[in-house]
Amino acid sequence: MRAWELLARSGGTARVADVAGEVGWSQRHLGERLRRETGLATKAAARVIRFERACTLLRRPSAPPLAELAAVCGYADQQHLARDFRDLAGTTASTWRAERVLPAAPIRPRPPRPAPAPSHP
């Protein structure tokens, strides 16, 4: 569905009116189609897409601080990001990240190989 693609491409930050206009539908028709095809209302679909983007960025080793992540993902503030994590993941963003991003394992030198056994004729 093109409307979903537009919402996804925007990271869930596109205005509903803009998406409806782009696909040539009314806002009401857009909402009905999204609900029929995804089970989500327009705002809920945008919320899920925005949340998924936040999750993707949090999985990176170089994830930004939560306040910056909230801004990058289109949240009004860090509290809105926190609410989505609580509502959609059932935990905080920090805990969610800690459970999914493993610290880099130290590189250990490979043990020396044993010398080959002497061959007997």
Q: Please give the Cα distance from 12 to 31 (Å, whole number).
A: 14
Residue 105 in 3-state DSSP? coil
The pTM of this model reads: 0.78
Average pLDDT, the chain: 90
Compute the average pLDDT of residues 44-62. 94
Compute the average pLDDT of residues 95-107. 76
Question: In this structure, which long-range contacts are made by residues 25-32, counting pairs with CB atoms below 8 Å and at least 24 apart in sequence?
Answer: 30/3
Residue position matching structure tokens 């010398």 = 115
Residues 6+ positions from 102 with CB-CB distance below 8 Å: none
Q: Please give the Cα distance from 92 to 32 (Å, whole number).
A: 32
pLDDT band at residue 107 using 50, 70 and 90 as cut-offs: low
pLDDT band at residue 74 using 50, 70 and 90 as cut-offs: very high
- As given in the structure block, the two tokens for residue 112 are 């020396």
